[in-house]
Structure 1
Amino acid sequence: MKELQEIFKTTVQMPDSRAAVINIFHSNIYVKDQLLAQLKPYDLSLEQFNVLRILRGQKGKSINLQDIQQRMVNKMSNTTRLVDKLLKKNFVERHLSQQNRRKVDISITKLGLKILKGLDPLILSVENSITENLSSDELKQLNILLLKLKS
């Protein structure tokens, strides 16, 4: 593809498989940069934002670190460190588990919910901006293809 060669500043024709993989990496960085621009004023990383959204999805219930880790988009994240940073910002609370005192449960605070409520329209705007050139059918197809890549 000519467009990819221009983006990658190359004249070498690369195999479609290599172009696709590099294009996915390039797109990943583009999406991350767009999202991070919205999170920066809140001093949040993408991983911290992910933890907050996981906790909000608990609808007031707490969840342990292991379950948070399983739900993370980036499985390589150090969940304990992320939660510690969110604790310092008063976005989350830590409690000893009622069922197992060796486990720690985490819940989102009112401040954490307030921050997410403020971020929701900003993130939605970025998501819409990133995908505005794709139709609904194209978005569905993109999701199907990305899932197929991982299966």
Structure 2
Amino acid sequence: MNIEEHLNTSNLPVARKLSLNILVTAQLIEEKVAGALKPFDLSIQQFNVLRILRGQKGKPANLSTIQERMVSKMSNTTRLVDKLIAKDLAKRIICKSNRRKVEINITENGLQLLDKIDPKVDAVENELIKHLNREEIEQIINGLDEIRN
């Protein structure tokens, strides 16, 4: 179904049709990924923070580094990290020489949880693109990169 049928409208200008298509598709992806995360009691934003921390490869990250790398810049990073700490998926490290300097690290529990979640999220993402071939996927990726640039 095309976007105009989906939204029960017609004659949209091409820029609006593209924008709406991206927004509706992003919402669909978000719903599907959130569904995969639900059994693990994690939000998409918490999952994103865990992936960022894992990407640090054992090096701690400060809150501003996490915020810069978040997919959703509107997220309250401090609150997200606090929730992950409460679940023993991340830990806060306070610098002994400068107590205002706080860094965050993923715990072994966090790494193990990601090992369980990754195949579930991969399956959702692969299901969403199963009707596209490699060339179509690359065209979409390149087009979206161009929009952001």
Aligned 1:6-25 pairs, distance under 5 A: 6-10=5-9, 12-25=10-23
Find the residue that maps to 2:105 and give its secondary structure: strand
Counterpart of 1:142 (choices 140, 143, 148) is 140
Deviations for 1:93-117, whole angstroms, at most 9, x for unmatched residues?
0011357431211001111111100
Task: State the Cα distance separating 1:3 from its structure 2 match.
Answer: 2.4
Cα RMSD after superposing both structures: 1.3
Task: Calculate the TM-score normalised by the size of structure 2.
Answer: 0.95
Question: Percent of aligned positions with the same letter in both sequences?
Answer: 45
Measure the CA separation in 2 of the matches of 1:114 and 1:53: 12
Aligned pair count?
149
Task: Calculate the TM-score normalised by the size of structure 1.
Answer: 0.94
For residue 61 of structure 2, what is the aligned residue in structure 1? 63
Change (3 A) 1:131 1:98: farther
Change (3 A) 1:70 1:30: same
Task: State the Cα distance separating 1:131 from its structure 2 match.
Answer: 0.9
CA contact (8 A) 2:3 2:20 kept: no
Which blocks of at least 5 consecutive residues in structure 1 are unaligned? none
Find the residue that maps to 1:132 and give its secondary structure: coil
Measure the CA separation in 1 of the matches of 2:2 and 2:74: 33
Aligned 1:1-80 pairs, distance under 5 A: 3-10=2-9, 12-80=10-78
Runs of 4+ in 1 over 4 A off after TM superposition: none
Measure the CA separation in 2 of the matches of 1:75 and 1:99: 30
Which blocks of at least 5 consecutive residues in structure 2 are unaligned? none
